[in-house]
Amino acid sequence: MSSSAATSSTGSIAVSVWRGDARHGNFQLFQVPQQPSQTILDVVTWIQRHADPGLSYRFACRVGMCGSCAMMVNGIPRWTCRTHVNKVLRDNRLTIEPLRNMPIIKDLACDMSEFFDKWKQARGQFEGSSTRDQQVAALSPGLPRRRIADAATECINCGICYAACDVVSWNRDYLGPAALNRAWSLQNDERDCAGEQRLRAVAGDAGCHQCHAQQGCATYCPNELNPTASIAGLKRMVSQAWFNKGLACHPGKKCGLGKRHA
Amino acid sequence: MDYQTLKTDILILGSGGAGLFAALHALQANPDLDVTIAVKGLLGKCGCTRMVQGGYNVALSPGDSVERHFMDTINGGKWLPDQDMAMRLCQTAVTRVQELENELGCFFDRNDDGSLHHKAFAGQTFDRTVHRGDLTGIEIISRLMEQVRALPVNMMEEHRALALLPSRDGDALAGVLMVDMRSGEFRVVRAKAVLMATGGGPTMYRYHTPSGDKSMDGLAMALRLGIGLRDMEMVQFHPTGLLAGRDTRMTGTVLEEGLRGAGGYLLDGNGERFMLNYDADGERATRDIVSRGIYAEMRAGRTTPNGGVYIAMSHLGAEKVAQKFPGMVKRCADCGFDLAGGRVEVVPTAHYFMGGVVVTPDTRSRLPGLFVAGEDAGGSHGANRLGGNGVANSTVFGGIAGDEMAGFAAGQGTWADIDEDLVSAAIDESMSPLRRAKADINSIRDRLLDLMWEGVGVLRDAQGITRAQTQLADLKSELLASGIGDANRVFALSWHDWLNLQSLIEVSEVIAAAALSRENSRGAHYREDFPEVGSLEESYFTIARSEATGLKVERRPVEFSIVKPGESLIQDD
C-alpha cells in the first residue's frame, strides 16, 4: 500500500514501516521524498506529518543524548536521530521496525520498562558513604580503577545493546548488556560501597555468566562502549570472590559469608 | 468521558534535574510519603537536563566565593534577577554538587591532583564550571535517574498534563488532569502538593534547541489558572545552532560555545568573517551579541544556501579540532557535515526561557499547593542566564522543592475537593481536535515558528511585535477550528502535536505582550526602537497574567534586597 500524500518521483525512498501493536501488525510502504540532510528520524517524522498522522514513534532530544528514538533500521538497532539516510539506504529502500527484545506499544514505540527494571536488579545505582556536607573525593583521573569505571560510563541507556543481544532473546530474565555494563562501572568506582551486594546481584542465573560474548552489544553501541568486555570483567570478579569468600549465594541458602540472602 | 482518579501525597510534573531531585529529597525527608512522578516522555530521558553540554557553576575553587558567583549572576542578568533567589542558587549549588558526587555517584572531571576541574565559561569572573567533558547533563541525569528508579515512587511515564485543577473554593491547587499518552485514558491525580517542573523550552521559534517533547505546557497551564508569569520577554538565543534545511529534526540543536572560544570563525554566505564589524571580541563576544550579529547578516541577505552563516574550524587544523571536540565532530559527521575540515551552516537558536512563574526562593507559588522549580520558574536569571547556571538552577531548586513539599504535605496540605465539571470540560476541550476534520497542522506550526522568529526573536521593535500579535491571534483561531482527522487516542503523536501548538501559541502571546511592554534593551531582550539599557537603579521586571479582559502586563520595580547597582559584594572589585 502506498501513501496518497507521497509522490513516487525519482527523488523518493521506499520506506517499509512496521505498523501494529503488541498483538499483531504488518509492514506498510511509504514513498518519502529524499533530501540532502535527512536522518531516519526525519523520514519517520515526514511520514507522520505528511502521509499518515496515525504513525506512533518516540523521540526527544533529536541529537543523540537521550536514547529515546532507537529503532531497527534494515534489521540493525540504531539511533534514528543520528543515522543519515545515505549511510543505510539500500537500493533506495529502508525498513524501519521497533526495537527488538522489548514489548511493542504501538508501531515504532516499544515499552522500555523491563530494560530499566533490570538496571535496578543489577543494582545499577551508586551507593556511597560520604554526604553532601563533605568535600568531593580527591581522585586522580589516572588511577587504574577510575579509568576502567570511566571507560564504561558514557551510556545513555538507549537500549540498542539490549536489542542487539541474542541472549536477551533466548532468556527473557537475562539482565542484558547495559545493566551489567553499569554494574561493572560501579564495581570499579572507589567511592561505591555496595560492591559485595552488587556482585551477588549480577552473579545469579540471569546475570553475567549468561553472556556468550557474541559482541552484538559492542558492535552496535553508538557510543562505542564495550559491554562484552565489562561483562567479562564481572565474570572474573565473581569467580575471584567465589574463590576468596565463597560468594556463590542462592536465594534462601547460606553463603560463605554466613549470611542468608533474600 | 470517563476518567480514573488517583491520590498521592506529592505529584511531580517533569523528570529533569528539578523533578528527580524533588522526588529524591521528598522521600529522604519523609520516606512514608507517597510520591508520584508524571512525565511526558520516559523518566529521565526526555527534557533538557540531559542535553546540558557546558557544565555546572559552583563556587568550590580556592579563591572563588559564593558572593562572586552571585555578583556574576546579577551582572549577567542585567540587574533583573530576584536577588534572594540568585543568592539561594549560588549558596546551595555548593552542597548540590557535593551531593551529586558523594551521594549520587556523578564523577566530574578532575585535575591531575584529584581536585575538581573548573572550566572558564563566558560572562564569569572566575573559572567555576564543573563538568564532565562536554556532556555533563548525561552524567547528572543518568545518575539521578538510577537513584530515583531504585526508590518506591509511582511513575507515570508518557503522561501529559492537561490542566492544573484548583480546589472547589479556588484557594489551593487540588490536583492535575492528565492523559496517558500510551492508552489515551484520562487520569485525575489528586495531590497535597504539586511540583511543576516541566522545563519551559522556547520551541515556538523557527530554530530552537530544546528537546522535541517540550512545548511550554507548564506555563500555559499556569496562565490558564490566572497565575502571574515574570520576565516572559526574556528568551535566550544561542548563536550556533546546526542548520540542515527544512524538515530536519536536527536543525537548531546546539554546536557548543567552545568552538568559538577555541578560535572558530563565523563566515557569511560569501565566506567573509563579519563578527568584528559588530564587536571588538569578534566571534568570542557573548551569546547575545553574536546572535544579533548573525541575525543582522541574515537579514541583510548575506547567507548560506539554507539561510544561515557558516562556522569554520579548519584553519585551526582539522586533526586538532577533531581531537578537542570529538563529540561535536562526530555529531556533525553522522548528520553529513565535516566540522573539523569543512564548513557547517549555523543559525542563532532559541535556547532557554529565563521567564516563568513568580515563586519565592523556597519554590512556592502564590497558589497554596503549587510549587515550581527549574525552567518553569522565573527569577533566578533575570534578563540573561549564565552558561552553567541552568542545571544549577534546576537541581538546586528541585531539591529545595522536595524538602518543602515534604513538610507541606505532612502539614497544611490536604486532598482538596475537585470540581468534576471542570475536569469534564477540560477533557472535552482536549478532545476537540479529535472530532474535527483533518486540517494542515504542519502549516500552522511552520507559520508559528516563522512569525515568532521574525517578529519576537533576536531583534525586536514595536511594529514587528504588534504584527506578530495579530498573526498569533489569527493562528489561534485557525488552530481552534482545526482537527487532526483521527479519533484514535493511543500513542497519538498528531493529537499531541496539536496540543503542543495550543500551549506554544498561548505562551507566545505572553512573550509578545511582555516584549512590547519592555521599552529598553536588557540581556536577551533587544528592542531596535529602544536600544538603551535604561536606568539600572529604576530596573523593573514584567509580570504577565491572563485576565477576563485579556492579557495584562505590569511592570514591577526590582527589589535590590542584597546589592544595589553600583555596589558589589566583592571587596577587590
Q: Are residues A118 and A92 in the same domain?
A: no
Assigned domain for A4 exists: no
| Structure confidence at residue B571 as a pLDDT band (50, 70, 90) | confident
| Last residue within a domain, chosen from A110, A144, A168 | A110
- pLDDT tens per residue, range B118-132: 998 888 999 999 999
pLDDT of residue A127: 97
Assigned domain for A51 exists: yes
A63 in Cβ contact with B327 (< 8 Å) = no
Which of B238, B292, B385, B518 does the annotation list as catalytic? B238
A85 in Cβ contact with A39 (< 8 Å) = yes
pTM of the model: 0.96
For the segment B192-201, the average pLDDT, to the nearest whole number, is 96
| Structure confidence at residue B410 as a pLDDT band (50, 70, 90) | very high
CA–CA separation, B80 and B554 (whole Å) = 15
CA–CA separation, B352 and B524 (whole Å) = 10
Mean pLDDT of chain B: 96
Q: Are residues A90 and A119 in the same domain?
A: no
Residue B239 pLDDT > 70, yes or no? yes
Residue B177 pLDDT > 70, yes or no? yes
Q: Are residues A126 and A99 in the same domain?
A: no
CA–CA separation, A248 and A203 (whole Å) = 7
CATH number at residue A237: 1.10.1060.10
Integer distance in angstroms from the first to the last C-alpha of chain B?
Answer: 64
CB-CB: which of B336, B438, B491 is closest to A86?
B336
Assign B382 to helix, strand or coil.
coil
For the segment B109-114, the average pLDDT, to the nearest whole number, is 96
For the segment B339-365, the average pLDDT, to the nearest whole number, is 97
What domains are there in chain B, each with its CATH number? 240-348 (3.90.700.10), 420-557 (1.20.58.100)
Assigned domain for A254 exists: no
pLDDT of residue A247: 58
Assign B371 to helix, strand or coil.
strand
Assigned domain for A262 exists: no
**Chain A residues near residue B201 by CB distance under 8 angstroms:** none
For the segment B362-391, the average pLDDT, to the nearest whole number, is 97
Does A84 contact B110 at a Cβ distance shorter than 8 Å? no
A23 touches chain B (CB under 8 A): no
- Per the structure, the count of domains in chain A is 2
Could you count the other beta carbons within 10 Å of the beta carbon of residue A80?
Answer: 25
CA–CA separation, B11 and B196 (whole Å) = 9
Predicted complex ipTM exceeds 0.90: yes
| Last residue within a domain, chosen from A110, A141, A157 | A110
The C-alpha cell of B152 is what?
518506591
B288 in Cβ contact with B235 (< 8 Å) = no
Backbone angles phi, psi at A248, to 5 degrees: -55, 80
Does A156 contact B137 at a Cβ distance shorter than 8 Å? no
Q: Which residues of A98-135 are buried (b: 16+ CB within 10 A; e: fewer)?
A: bbbbbebbbbbbbbbebbbebbebbbbbbbbeeebeee
Sign of CA dihedral B540, B541, B545, B550: positive
Residue B286 pLDDT > 90, yes or no? no
| Last residue within a domain, chosen from A86, A110, A134 | A110
**Chain A residues near residue B442 by CB distance under 8 angstroms:** 49-50
Assigned domain for A209 exists: yes
Of residues B25, B412, B349, the one with CA closest to residue B207:
B349
Does B149 contact A139 at a Cβ distance shorter than 8 Å? no
For the segment B333-342, the average pLDDT, to the nearest whole number, is 92
Q: Are residues A98 and A219 in the same domain?
A: no
- pLDDT tens per residue, range B444-484: 999 999 999 999 999 999 999 999 999 999 999 999 999 99
B131 is catalytic: no
Ranges of residues in chain A whose predicted pLDDT is under 70: 1-10, 246-262
Q: Element (H or E) spanning B164, and its range?
A: strand B159-166
Q: Are residues A104 and A123 in the same domain?
A: no
Assigned domain for A18 exists: yes
| DSSP, res B312 | E
For the segment B11-39, the average pLDDT, to the nearest whole number, is 98
Q: Which are the contacts of B194, defined by CB distance < 8 A and separation ≥ 6?
A: B10, B11, B12, B13, B164, B173, B175, B176, B369, B370, B371
CA–CA separation, B311 and B304 (whole Å) = 11
Does B135 contact A65 at a Cβ distance shorter than 8 Å? yes
CA–CA separation, A158 and A140 (whole Å) = 30
pLDDT of residue B444: 98
Q: How far is CA B307 from CA A88, B207, B254, B362, in A?
A: 28, 12, 17, 44
- Tell me which amino acid residue A146 is: R
Residue B226 pLDDT > 60, yes or no? yes
Chain A with chain B: Cβ pairs closer than 8 A: 200
pLDDT of residue B573: 52
Following DSSP, what letter does each residue of B195-236 receive, concatenated? EE------TTSSSB-S-TT---HHHHHHHHTT--EE-TT-EE
Q: Are residues A38 and A89 in the same domain?
A: yes
Residue B537 pLDDT > 70, yes or no? yes
CA–CA separation, B504 and B498 (whole Å) = 10
Residue A169: give the domain boundaries: 113-245
Q: Are residues A150 and A66 in the same domain?
A: no
Assign B41 to helix, strand or coil.
coil
For the segment B372-394, the average pLDDT, to the nearest whole number, is 97
Assigned domain for A87 exists: yes
